[in-house]
Amino acid sequence: MKVLVTGGAGFIGSNVADRLVEEGHQVVVLDDLSSGKREQVPAAANFYQMELDGRWLDRVVEREKPDAVCHLAAQISVRRSVEDPVFDARVNILASIGLIEACRLHGVKRFIFTSTGGAIYGDADQIPTPETYPAAGRGGGDLQQGGAGGPRRDHQRRWQADAGLRVRG
């Protein structure tokens, strides 16, 4: 299977990319190296150094035609999300929507969305918290990181109805 890993030069994404390579998958990494490191990208991966919210995203998805996308690129600093909420929303919400939309347009069938549990579900009273638990961020970075969960759910319903797409996250 060919898998596109966004944020594949970061902490979680590079470990996911390594594991996918180990398991024999073809891996494509997209990362702007704003906090990630080039040396963390597995040598076997096809690497695109670019911003998720840049105008080439659609071209990459169209050209690579991945079977699945693991979306791990994110602006993860809570401090920055409070100081510059517009930038934070652009990366964590708008770029996520753009990626989901590019996947829908180019027939990607699986999309794994990753955020952080507290950001999406708040102080949930059910641990482990199931994906069906109501979203309830606590503000600041939580609002932004959880924010992509809303569009993700909308697309999940739409894709599942229209194209049989499986969205997890």
Ligand X SMILES: NC(=O)c1ccc[n+]([C@@H]2O[C@H](COP(=O)([O-])OP(=O)(O)OC[C@H]3O[C@@H](n4cnc5c(N)ncnc54)[C@H](O)[C@@H]3O)[C@@H](O)[C@H]2O)c1
Give every strand in the sheet of 166-168, ordered side by side: 46-49, 26-31, 2-6, 68-71, 110-113, 166-168
32 binds ligand X (CB under 6 A): yes
Choose among 19, 26, 20, 18: nearest CA to 1: 26
Shortest separation between residue 164's beta carbon and ligand X, angstroms: 26
State yes or no: residue 75 binds ligand X (CB under 6 A).
Answer: yes
Q: Are 70 and 114 in contact (CB under 8 A)?
A: yes
**One of 2, 21, 26, 35 touching ligand X (CB under 6 A):** 35
Cα distances from 74 to residues 30, 55, 79, 93, in angstroms, run 12, 17, 14, 9
CB of 163: closest distance to ligand X in angstroms? 25
Q: Of 15 and 163, which has the nearer Cβ to ligand X? A: 15
Nearest approach in angstroms of CB 132 to ligand X is 19
Residues that bind ligand X (CB under 6 A): 7, 9-13, 31-36, 51-53, 72-76, 91, 95, 114-116, 145
